[in-house]
Chains A and B, each alone.
Chain A
């Protein structure tokens, strides 16, 4: 959760001059969870990324949230810094937020329930919003369980409000959505990165743990995209306490998927999804 250390009265604030000096003296403080501006100044720029291409660099507290609207072709890397984070993600078309992540189609169309490298995040409109283009988390992801709720977290941890140390994922997604001009009805089922669940033969949802400290997943925006991220404990996390850690975000200008990418032709269903997306953008003059 947000680190408030360092806040509070530091010096006399009786006059406007004193108060202004006090306020200004608070800047340039480095804490664990904060955005890096300009993005190229990120102290954690991935080794394989040209800093000058960065468009978004941030460490998101656990629990915490972030959100951004990015251009088509933006590549977004999420990192589970300590192995304790869970990034719950919703993506929506920035052209029309009624077109948003459809978890059922995301599982059904590729005939695959588990997210991994090459998996498309599909909208309900037969198009690809984003593609999971790299998975260095060993497939420890989940599309079945969604986020925790405030009522559930109050019952399990004693608190679930967004400003508490045991914030519910749902509360954080609602805030991220609101900042993008969206309302609760714009927050559909989500996908969860860095914490895994598998379905047993009898249907039981079984916990498979995490991808370890430093696990990453890369998404590529296939259209102008609004990204909502809630970093909050997974609903099935068996840890006794609320398990969380920071999520690092780096996004840079790259390329949307093309027919030369293996996932474009991985299955006939996916090929048609990319073709639909391509035509949708072509008609709008977006390349």
Chain B
């Protein structure tokens, strides 16, 4: 891989702390451009920290016991009748049932319209010279394969810390983020779920400030004292 200045930890990084206190179940850093996945038990809270600021965390959620039950952006948006995810948004499966709930959010709004980048869609968006740029779909496929998931299991995802406004005439797209180092989003699992995250490698648009940085994932169990 090409090593750039952004590969190195910068002074402005802020790794923050869990949004909801409790015993630490898991505390990991997702390296820039890497995939990550873990089962999250019902009641546990996943805090995702935007360590370097404006780093898109592409996220898919599955029922841990039945991967055919997965996050549905459409069911989520239709139920809340709003195109953006905010504090209190319930992340629903395709039958409308709650998978996780946003219990803390330090960014004005979160995206679930923009989808994941892929090598293939990069060729449409930026030209065929970008076919060999690493992409979220690669991370989803490889991380998903660890759990028996394949292309047929990829659906519209969430992009934590990414900013996708929709204008009056329907124009939509990815613009400069509204996040900053140390900003967090916290998700409570409403049942046992599998969470898959791609730390977005995109360097052709502002979703990462053209500068992929780490994400920190902390899972706490609020039922057990820290």
Contact = CB atoms under 8 A, between A and B. Distances in A.
Interface in B58-97: 67-68, 72-75, 77-79, 81-84, 94-97
A236 B81 contact: yes
Interface string A147-168: 1011110000000000000000
Chief secondary structure at chain B's binding surface: loop
A3 to B, nearest CB: 29
B97 A151 contact: yes
A144 B173 CA distance: 15
A145 B156 CA distance: 12
B150 to A, nearest CB: 7
Contact of A199 (B74, B83, B156): B83
B192 interface: no
A281 interface: no
A217 B154 CA distance: 28
B139 to A, nearest CB: 14
B125 interface: yes
A270 B77 CA distance: 27
Contact of A149 (B96, B120, B169): B96
A199 to B, nearest CB: 4
A170 B109 CA distance: 28
Interface residues of A, number: 51
A149 B120 CA distance: 32
Nearest to B119: A126
A287 interface: no
Interface stretch (B8-16, B110-118, B218-226): B110-118
A102 B127 contact: no
Contact of A272 (B83, B123, B154): B123
Given A189-B155, A273-B124, A113 B113 contact: yes
Given A109-B125, A112-B170, A205-B83, A145 B137 contact: no
A262 interface: no
B37 interface: no
B146 interface: no
Contacts of A188: 155-156
B160 to A, nearest CB: 15
Interface in A86-114: 97-100, 102-105, 107-109, 111-114
B116 A98 contact: no
Nearest to B131: A126
Chain A contact residues: helix, strand, loop or mixed: loop
B151 A124 contact: yes
Given A104-B113, A201-B168, A203-B109, A109 B95 contact: no
Contacts of B124: 105, 109, 122, 126, 269-270, 272-273, 276
B74 A108 contact: no
Contact of B154 (A122, A124, A147, A187): A124
Contact of A111 (B73, B150, B171): B171
A99 B154 CA distance: 10
A185 B84 contact: no
Contact of A124 (B109, B113, B121, B128): B121
Given A105-B115, A144-B78, A201-B168, 17 more contacts: A109-B124, A111-B171, A113-B170, A124-B118, A124-B121, A126-B122, A144-B77, A146-B74, A146-B78, A184-B68, A185-B67, A189-B73, A189-B156, A203-B82, A203-B166, A204-B81, A205-B77
19 contacts: A102-B115, A104-B114, A104-B157, A105-B124, A108-B125, A108-B172, A113-B113, A113-B171, A113-B172, A124-B120, A126-B119, A144-B74, A145-B74, A149-B94, A189-B72, A198-B170, A270-B124, A273-B124, A276-B120
Interface of A: 97-100, 102-105, 107-109, 111-114, 122, 124-127, 144-147, 149-152, 170, 183-190, 198-199, 201-205, 235-236, 269-270, 272-273, 276
In order of increasing CB-CB distance, the 9 nearest A-B pairs are A104-B115, A146-B74, A126-B120, A114-B170, A145-B78, A203-B84, A98-B151, A199-B166, A149-B96
Interface of B: 67-68, 72-75, 77-79, 81-84, 94-97, 109, 113-116, 118-125, 127-128, 137, 150-157, 164, 166, 168-174
